[in-house]
Homo-oligomer: A and B are copies of this chain.
Amino acid sequence: MPTVKVEMFSGRTPQQKRDLVRLVTDAVAESLSVDPAGVRVQIVETERHHSAVGGVLRSDAAGEAVPFGTP
């Protein structure tokens, strides 16, 4: 049953994503003593122009343009 959702900024490589789901699955299986085959991991990518801390878009804080109309 354990289902893991990882929210992160887009731009990672396929290999980073492979390593992420493998290592997170191992971490959950080890700590909870469950079968890795029952662990699900979902990657949810987000953008800096949709994420804010302290009321400021991260894209603004990083001096990046905020694309208009793109997801």
How many of chain A's residues touch chain B, expressed as a range? 35 or more
Copies in the complex: 6
Q: How far is the CB of A54 from chain B (nearest CB, A)?
A: 4
B17 touches A57 (CB 8 A): yes
Main secondary structure of the interface of A (DSSP, over half): mixed
Tell whether A32 pairs with B5 under 8 Å between CB atoms, given A11-B69, A45-B71, A54-B25: no
**CB interface residues, A 1-45, toward B, < 8 Å:** 1-14, 16-28, 30-33, 36-45
A1 contacts which of B2, B8, B24, B67 (Cβ < 8 Å)?
B8
Q: Name A's B-contacting residues (CB within 8 A).
A: 1-14, 16-28, 30-33, 36-46, 49-58, 60, 66-69, 71
